[in-house]
């Protein structure tokens, strides 16, 4: 996408509702980085919207569901989508386990072992990104890179430190 619509079909702000809860300073830093990366580069368009973006996204948790509340730049509500976290639970759990292995390997393993673990980590990250993209299909149009950044944020939301 290029031209004037490129600046419209995107997020300019991501807010975490109090329902997400707060954590350690390290976790809060990771959340801030994930939000920064998402806002810095994304493609985000609610389906059937007139294209009057850019958009603001407020994420919250309600009864083990992830709530995407989308608003216009001026704060006017556009749409709210509620996604079950169940399809992402296994992937997030596996992703955390492989990340722990990766960080352990960095301290003591050979470069080839680190690379192998990193390939697995990236594969799981891609799987989670595709799952999130599939769950948002028909609701919010995002590209794969945006799905990757959103998946990173979903993972960080569950990280307790």
- Of 78, 57, 56, 59, nearest to 19 by C-alpha is 59
Taking the model in full, what pTM does it have?
0.83
- Helix, strand, coil shares of the chain, percent, nearest 5, are 55, 20, 25
pLDDT tens for the chain, residues 1 to 161: 444 455 789 999 999 887 676 767 777 787 888 899 999 999 999 998 876 789 999 998 888 888 999 999 999 999 999 999 899 889 988 988 888 888 889 899 999 999 999 999 899 999 999 999 999 999 999 999 999 999 988 887 766 54
Q: What is the torsional sign of CA 46, 48, 53, 56?
A: negative
């Amino acid at each position: 996408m290029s031209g004037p619509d490129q600046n419209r079909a995107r997020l300019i702000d991501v807010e975490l509702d109090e329902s997400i809860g707060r954590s350690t300073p390290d976790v809060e830093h990771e959340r801030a980085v994930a939000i920064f990366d998402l806002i810095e580069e994304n493609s985000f368009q609610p389906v059937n919207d007139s294209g009057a973006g850019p958009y603001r996204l407020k994420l919250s948790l309600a009864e083990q569901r992830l709530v995407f509340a989308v608003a216009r730049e001026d704060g006017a509500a556009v749409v709210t989508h509620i996604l079950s976290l169940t399809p992402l639970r296994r992937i997030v759990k596996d992703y955390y386990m492989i990340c722990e292995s990766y960080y352990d390997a960095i301290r003591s393993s050979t470069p080839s072992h680190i690379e192998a673990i990193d390939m697995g980590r990236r594969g799981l990250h891609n799987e989670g990104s595709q799952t999130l993209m599939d769950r948002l299909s028909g609701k919010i149009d995002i590209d794969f890179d945006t799905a990757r950044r959103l998946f990173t944020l979903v993972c960080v939301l569950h990280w307790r430190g």
